């Protein structure tokens, strides 16, 4: 397991954002440390997706600061340390590509950021495919898989660079109960064993119940402490 950063993996400080004159987020502050699972919940239009895009530098705040591993976004270059899992519905799962090709594409997309030997890449691919229970599906086309298997392939793609922060957008949407169980086990391993920071954005508390150390609810553009009954309590790493 890689050494943990002293600074939070992700930190938002008094972040506000507006589309034109329409405010979406108002002075949101939150952080997540490595080895911590943070759930971000909210209804449609609450601003949780905007918060996620700000964290990934897809949008820039109108006020406040976003930091990754202690660096402001303008100076952050280590994007191999950040994994992102989009909603399955927006990733064209019917494309004629195999699970292996999807997972390997996670390396190709960031090839300029780091230089790995072929054997190291192969070992990492083997690890994430096994972790996500996809060993028997590596040659399968994405269109042949169930919704849960497709989602696990997308997660494996995000994990293949060995990130220290994983941001997930509605990861259990359209996924059956069995697939949710596999996903939960994988996330538990990533946080507890590999010490990864996970930000889990969802409208469905059942998807992270018992996994999240903290729950933040986005409502009216502001962040509030979420339902404590859905959280399991503080992580070993101290985080605000």
pLDDT tens profile 116-162: 557 778 888 899 999 998 999 988 998 888 888 888 888 899 998 89
How far is residue 155's CA from residue 6's CA, in Å, rounded to a whole number? 26
How far is residue 214 from each of residues 40, 161, 177, measured CA to CA in Å? 9, 26, 23
- How many other C-beta atoms can be found within 10 angstroms of the C-beta atom of residue 215? 22
The token pair that represents 16 in the structure block: 């506000």
Average pLDDT over residues 164-185: 86
What local confidence, expressed as pLDDT, does residue 116 receive?
53
Nearest Cα residue to 239 out of 40, 1, 34: 34
Nearest Cα residue to 5 out of 240, 197, 222, 203: 197
How confident is residue 16, by pLDDT bands cut at 50, 70 and 90? Answer: very high
- How many other C-beta atoms can be found within 10 angstroms of the C-beta atom of residue 224? 11
Cβ atoms of residues 124 and 160 within 8 Å: yes
What local confidence, expressed as pLDDT, does residue 96 receive?
82
Instruction: Write out pLDDT tens, residues 180-235.
Output: 888 888 999 999 999 999 999 998 877 787 889 999 999 999 999 876 655 666 66
Average pLDDT over all residues of the chain: 85
Average pLDDT over residues 32-38: 96
CA dihedral of residues 154, 160, 161, 165 (deg, nearest 10): 50
All structural domains of the chain, each given as residue ranges with its CATH number in brackets, are 34-57+80-230 (3.40.50.300)
Give the residue with greater pLDDT, 228 vs 42.
Answer: 42
What local confidence, expressed as pLDDT, does residue 234 receive?
63
Cβ atoms of residues 237 and 35 within 8 Å: yes
Residue 114, pLDDT above cutoff 90:
no
Checking DSSP bridges between strand 71-72 and strand 63-68, what pairing results, if any?
antiparallel
Give the residue with greater pLDDT, 30 vs 239.
Answer: 30
Instruction: Write out pLDDT tens, residues 44-85.
Output: 889 999 999 999 999 999 999 999 999 999 999 999 899 999
How far is residue 219's CA from residue 29's CA, in Å, rounded to a whole number? 13
How far is residue 96's CA from residue 104's CA, in Å, rounded to a whole number? 15
What local confidence, expressed as pLDDT, does residue 113 receive?
46
How far is residue 92's CA from residue 62's CA, in Å, rounded to a whole number? 32
Nearest Cα residue to 12 out of 27, 34, 2: 27
The token pair that represents 224 in the structure block: 């509030």
What local confidence, expressed as pLDDT, does residue 238 receive?
36
What local confidence, expressed as pLDDT, does residue 56 receive?
95
Q: pTM of the prediction? A: 0.85
């Amino acid at each position: 397991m890689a050494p943990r950063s002293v600074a939070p993996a992700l930190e938002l400080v008094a972040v506000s954002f507006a589309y034109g004159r329409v405010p979406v987020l108002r002075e949101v502050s939150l952080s997540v440390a490595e080895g911590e699972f943070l759930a971000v919940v909210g209804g449609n239009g609450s601003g949780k997706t905007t918060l996620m895009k700000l964290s990934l530098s897809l949008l820039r705040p109108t006020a406040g600061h976003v930091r990754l591993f202690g660096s402001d976004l303008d100076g952050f270059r280590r994007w191999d340390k950040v994994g992102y899992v989009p909603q399955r519905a927006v990733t064209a799962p019917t494309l004629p590509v195999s699970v292996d090709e999807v997972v390997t594409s996670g390396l190709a997309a960031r090839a300029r950021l780091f230089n790995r030997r072929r054997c190291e890449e192969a070992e990492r691919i083997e690890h994430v495919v096994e972790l996500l229970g996809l060993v028997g599906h590596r040659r399968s086309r994405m269109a042949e898989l169930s919704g849960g298997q497709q989602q696990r392939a997308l997660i494996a793609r995000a994990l293949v660079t060995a990130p220290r922060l994983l941001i997930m957008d509605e990861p259990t949407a359209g996924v059956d109960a069995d697939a949710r169980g596999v996903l939960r086990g994988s996330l538990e391993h990533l946080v507890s064993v590999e010490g990864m920071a996970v930000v889990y954005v969802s409208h469905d508390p059942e998807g992270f119940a018992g996994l999240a150390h903290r729950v933040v609810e986005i409502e009216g553009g502001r962040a509030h402490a979420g339902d404590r009954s859905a959280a399991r309590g503080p992580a070993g790493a101290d985080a605000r």
